[in-house]
Every structure is written in C-alpha cells, then in structure tokens.
Chains A and B, each alone.
Chain A
Amino acid sequence: MSERATLAMPVAGADAAASDLAGPRGRKPRRTLSRRNIILYGTLFVVAVYYLLPLYVMVVTSLKGMPEIRLGHIFAPPVEITFQPWVKAWAEACTGLNCDGLSRGFWNSVRITVPSVVLSIAIASVNGYALANWRFKGAEVFFTILIVGAFIPYQVMLYPIVIILREMGIYGTLTGLVLVHSIFGMPILTLLFRNYFASLPEELFKAARVDGAGFWGIYLRIMLPMSLPIFVVAVIIQITGIWNDFLFGVVYTKPDLYPMTVQLNNIVNSVQGVKEYNVNMAATLLTGLVPLLVYFVSGKLFVRGIAAGAVKG
C-alpha cells in the first residue's frame, strides 16, 4: 500500500515531508478498509476456507467414533475425541487377508523413497554436471531426447519396463521400483542440475582445472559444496513425487511390498466389510502427512521446486 501512496504523488518528490505537513494533495491514499480491499480480502478468505475445508474434514472425521459420524455431519467438530481410528488405521486395518494396518505400507514407502531419492539425485547431479561443464559431442542430443521423453505418458513405457525388469530379475522387487523412480526422475532433475551448474561462474571451473583437478575432484570439492540449495530443492521434488506415486507402485511391486498410497487405496476402496469412515480418514491423513510435513517445513524452497519440477506434470 505504501508504494501506491508514493506513486500517487510523483510531483511531491524530494520534499515529501513538507507536502505531508501542507496537507494531502492529489488523490487520497486508499484506506485499508476500502471497498476494494474488503472484496479482495473477503474473496481470498472464502477461497482459503474452501481450500482448507477438506483438511479440516479429514482431521475432524478421523477423531470421531463411528456412531457420532452416523448421527452428526461431516463439518461438526468431534464431541468426544478418540484416537482409536488412528491406532486402527496404523496397526489393524485390513487389505485382503493382511490385517497389519498402514504401517507396512509406510515402511515400504520409506524403503522405496529413501534409496530412490539418493540414487536419482546422485545420477542426475553428476549427469547435469557433465552436461554443463564437460560437454561432449552428442550429449545435447541425448539430453533433448530425455527432456522430450518426460512428456511421453508413462502408460506407453509401462510394459517395456516390465520386460526389462523381468530380464534383470528384479521385477516385483523394491530394487526394481527404485530403479524405475530413478529413471523417471532423471529428466527433471538433470535439467535442474544442468541449469544450476551452468549458472555458476565458469572461472571457478577453469581455475580448478588449471590447478589440476579432474572430473570427480571438481564435482566433489567444488560443485557439491556450492550447490546445497539446489540439492535441497531436488530432495523436496523427489520425496513428494515418489511418496505420492501410485502407478509405478502398483505396476512394479507385489502386494507385500505395496507403497503406502496403493495400500491406502486398497484399504479405503475395499468392498468387503462395514465402511469405517473414521479409520479411512485417519489412514488418508497418515499417508498425506509426509508430503505435508515436507511442504510446511520447506516453505519457499517447495515453491521453487515445483516451479522447476512443473515440467514433470
């Protein structure tokens, strides 16, 4: 607002203080409670409530008992708070014949996400570094294919990868899924790292070369320490992306190894038994908790990550 006020009187210029004393000239600076502001903040507030509502309903539903859910309505806060649905979702909810809850899916997801994040970032950062600083003939061609490939619907490549993984003997294992995540994380991450390394001053690289440092020496001692922020962005993209993945999880693993999202879907959308909406919502919240934590902790870096990662679609 203050900037607008100064803009309104460009003539006043240097002797702004004087004109303040002489009384306002030109248009009146707008008050905070102008009609425009009421509309603006009002709209934003209503939209914000709309965006928050599902989260609120999830939390509220997961803290109610089933009788209360049947009687009341979804927006009502719980009369009697119970954590039983959370316990049940975590440790007892059933998928098929297994009744050990979402905890299994959670640990599977951890075992998938951690190595996938490490592997994909290791590959892509070295690769981006090679593309930025050690360009060789033909490198750009492969890079272009890689970027264009990011737009190919996954469905087109699903089955060929099944064959590749089967030939390698890792179809249906976590190793196979980690490999798949590393492959599909490559386009966006390579682009991210290539652009970042290319933006670093070239003199640095040249000086290191003059001093006799080689490919790996420069990467480990100069590039790596200088690019912590971009690594954090990459980690954010990958954790949320891989944790939220459903398609690869369901295609390339077996029921015992299903990641959390797949197991969640199987729990909630199972046709047998009585629907326990409170347990379902607790399970849904549990699954969303990890990416939400990453989001709220990382703040602006997340925004930067999605701006870069948006290409991933």
Chain B
Amino acid sequence: MRSQSERPYPLFRNLNAKIASIPMVLTALVVFVGGTAWTVLYSFTNSKLLPRWKFVGLDQYERLWSTPRWLVSIENLFIYGALSLIFSFVIGFLLAAMLDRKIRFEDTFRTIFLYPFALSFIVTGLVWQWLLNPDFGVQHVVRSLGWESFTFNPLYDRELVIYGILIAALWQGTGLIMCLMLAGLRSIDEDIWKAARVDGIPVWKTYLFIVIPMLRPVFVTTLVIIASAIVKVYDLVVAQTGGGPGHASEVPAKYVYDYMFLGQNLGQGFAASTMMLLSVVIVIVPWAYLEFGRRGRR
C-alpha cells in the first residue's frame, strides 16, 4: 500500500480512512494532549473563578502542600491504595484459584462474585453506608444478638473511615480482579499441572513456585488497572461519606472537583489535578517501559 509514492497529493491518498480518523485525531490532540497541557500550564497561575493567565510560579503547589485537607487526601490515598492493592490481589487470586480447581457451579459462583462490578460506585457507596449505619446496620445487629459492647462504626470514626470505604471498594472490585486472574490461570498449559503432579509437587507449591511466576504479565496488567483506578477514586467517597466526618475521608479527586467547581479556586484544582497526573505517570511510565520498551514497537 505504501509503494505508490508517485501520486501527486499524498494528503488525499486514503482519504476516507483519514476522514474516519478525524474524531480520534481531535480527541488525541485537542482533548488528551491539549487539555492536559492546558491544565498543567494553568496550574502555574492564580486563576480563581475563571482561568486567568497570570503566572505565579509554584505558588499553587506550595499552598496545596500546606493545606491540611490535601495532606489528608494524600494520606488516605496511600492507605487506601496500598491496602486495596494488596487485598484485591490476594482475594482476587484466591477466588480465581478456587474457581480454577474444576469445581461445580463455577458459573454461578463467578456470576455472584462479579455482579457488584456491574453496579456504580454511587450504588455501592450507598449500600455500604446503610450496612455500616451504626443505628441499624451490622453494629446494631450484633448488639441485638446480645453482644452489647460490640463496636463497628467505621463511617463515623475519623481513624477508621477510610477502611469503611475500602470494604465497599473491595466488594465492588474484587470480582473484576478475579476474572482477570482466572483468565490468566486458564491460559496456563494443562501439561504444567500434569508435570507438577507427576513430580509429586503439592498444589500450593505448584501455585507458589510455578503458576504465580508464570502469571507475571497478568499481574502487571492487573497492577496497572488497579493503580489507575485507585487514583481516580471519587464517586465512592462522595456517596458513602461525602468526605466526612470532617475531612477524614477526603481523596485527591474530590479535592480537585471541590476546588474547581464548588470552591471557585481553579488554580488549586489545576495544581491538585496535575499532582494526580504525576502520580499516574510514576506508575505508568515504568510499566510502559518494561512492557513495550524492550520489545520495541509492534
């Protein structure tokens, strides 16, 4: 297709394909590259209600990192991120491994584990808000069974609120991780299992030393998926706690929204969103390098 270079107007060659790609080109250049560059640039201005091009250097970032609410958001993101990473991996893998043991009713179990993923974060947050309600929910139920001093009230406890959100997030998201891991486990050659069994290697050892190392690509993909989802966590917090009690369950994405659209402090919003971008870059770039850099372009 490429050899006909003697044609006069190379721009009009393959014109229909180019027309069909206009939305993609516009999205890529204007929204993704342009929008990102715009936000990063304007994070160096003191824009308030409307974007204004008045350069103030790193002022917004200095203010950002001295705002307690932002620091709480970052701390929450780290706790939530680390724990949701660990637990989604462990739970997702264990569920997948159990479903992969050639069990009966596999489809039923998988359907049950995955259905929360079809629900929105808003629905998830509201259900768990109700379940963790201290006056009616789990705490009340256990107390009414006779254990009067039982306390499980994460959503109204500043120290525990992020764990309350984590519980909801795990309920919603582990099904997906399970599915990804299950797909990975299914891709492993049956002969490897046979060989391990012939050699008399116990099942758990086969998993630990043979299967898990083989699943590395699946793990890496899963890691990237979970990590980029962690940074984006927003709706769940809005629905479940609204960032409360106080600012105890704030997350960066909510900080950005509140400053941009409620606080009329665009510059802060831009600076905070740029920090979010930075954290994604830190996760994505090494991954992209490892995955695609060594292999070269396809």
Contacts and interface: CB of A to CB of B under 8 A. Distances in A.
B261 interface: yes
B34 A160 contact: yes
B285 to A, nearest CB: 10
Interface string A28-43: 0000000000001101
A294 interface: yes
A234 interface: no
Given A153-B231, A156-B273, A284-B123, A306 B24 contact: no
A310 B159 CA distance: 32
B91 to A, nearest CB: 9
A186 B274 CA distance: 23
A57 B183 contact: no
B43 to A, nearest CB: 10
A73 B140 contact: yes
- Most chain A CB inside 10 Å of its own CB: which residue of B127, B138, B256: B127
A243 B273 CA distance: 25
Contacts of B239: 246, 265, 268-269
Given A149-B32, A156-B35, A143 B24 contact: yes
Interface string A297-313: 00100110011001101
Interface in B33-71: 33-36, 38-40, 42, 51
A75 interface: yes
Interface string A179-205: 000110010001000000000000000
Contacts of B272: 155
A307 B122 contact: no
12 contacts: A1-B102, A54-B171, A74-B137, A127-B20, A130-B18, A145-B28, A153-B276, A155-B253, A240-B118, A244-B121, A244-B122, A280-B130
B163 to A, nearest CB: 16
Contact of A277 (B33, B130, B253, B276): B130
Nearest to A190: B24
Give 5 nearest A-B pairs by CB, closest first: A149-B32, A244-B120, A134-B17, A215-B16, A160-B35
Nearest to B183: A307
Interface of B: 1, 13-14, 16-18, 20-21, 23-25, 27-36, 38-40, 42, 51, 95, 98-99, 101-103, 109-123, 126-131, 133, 136-138, 140-141, 144, 171, 175-176, 179-180, 183, 194, 197-198, 221, 224-225, 228-229, 231-232, 234-235, 238-239, 242, 252-253, 256-257, 260-261, 266, 269-270, 272-274, 276-277, 280, 284, 288
B194 A149 contact: no
Interface residues of A, number: 93
A157 B17 contact: no
Nearest to B144: A73
Interface in A123-154: 123, 126-127, 129-131, 134-136, 139, 142-143, 145-146, 148-149, 151-154
A302 B118 contact: yes
Interface of A: 1, 3-4, 7, 10, 40-41, 43-44, 47-48, 50-55, 57-58, 61, 69-70, 73-75, 123, 126-127, 129-131, 134-136, 139, 142-143, 145-146, 148-149, 151-161, 163-164, 182-183, 186, 190, 214-216, 240, 243-247, 251, 261-262, 264-265, 268-269, 277, 280-281, 284, 287-288, 291-292, 294-296, 299, 302-303, 306-307, 310-311, 313
Nearest to B222: A310
Contact of B141 (A74, A190, A294): A74
Contacts of A246: 120-122, 234-235, 238-239
A288 B119 contact: yes
B136 A73 contact: yes
Nearest to A311: B225
A49 to B, nearest CB: 9
Nearest to A55: B115
Nearest to B123: A288
A291 B280 contact: no
A292 B119 contact: yes
Contact of B277 (A7, A139, A156, A269): A156
A135 B298 CA distance: 14
B35 A161 contact: yes
Contacts of B27: 146, 149, 183, 186
B17 A73 contact: no
Nearest to A76: B141
Nearest to B236: A246
Contacts of A44: 98-99, 103, 109
A274 to B, nearest CB: 13
- Most chain B CB inside 10 Å of its own CB: which residue of A57, A135, A182, A240: A57
A57 B98 contact: no
Nearest to B177: A310
A277 B235 contact: no
Given A265-B122, A307-B179, A74 B136 contact: yes
A152 B21 contact: no
Contacts of A74: 130-131, 136-138, 140-141
A165 to B, nearest CB: 11
A107 B27 CA distance: 28
B149 to A, nearest CB: 17
Given A4-B102, A126-B20, A54 B128 contact: yes
A261 to B, nearest CB: 5
Contacts of A47: 95, 113
Given A123-B23, A160-B31, A261-B120, A51 B98 contact: no
B232 A43 contact: no
